[in-house]
Amino acid sequence: METITIPKKEYELLKEAHALLHDAEFIRKLNRLAELLLAEKWGIVMPEETSDLAEASIDNITEWKTERSVWDDL
């Protein structure tokens, strides 16, 4: 096992961040706050229902499929 050395203050901050990220209730509240702020500031509403979203792939974007040109070899 490899060992690293970090300042104690940084270690304490990492422990606190770890504890917060494992607090599911805190994460739910933080997500809700983000949703409220987005809706208030920019009118962006994050719906709960996302079944209409389809997975996409860059390979399936037809606009990017073009013939090769001399610039491709530069």
**How confident is the model at residue 12, as a pLDDT?**
95
Tell me, yes or no, whether 11 lies in a domain: yes
Output phi, psi for 45, to 5 deg.
-110, 125
pTM metric for this prediction: 0.42
Q: How many domains does the chain have?
A: 1
Residue 74 has pLDDT above 80, yes or no: no
User: Is residue 56 one of the residues assigned to a domain?
Assistant: no
| In-domain check, residue 7 | yes
CB 36, CB 29: distance < 8 Å: no
Range of the domain at 26: 1-46
- The helix/strand count (H/E) of the chain reads as 2, 0
33: left (phi over 0), alpha (psi -120 to 50) or beta: alpha
DSSP structural state of residue 29: H
30 found inside a domain: yes
Is 40 a member of any domain?
Answer: yes
Write out pLDDT tens, residues 3-33: 999 999 999 999 998 988 888 888 889 888 9
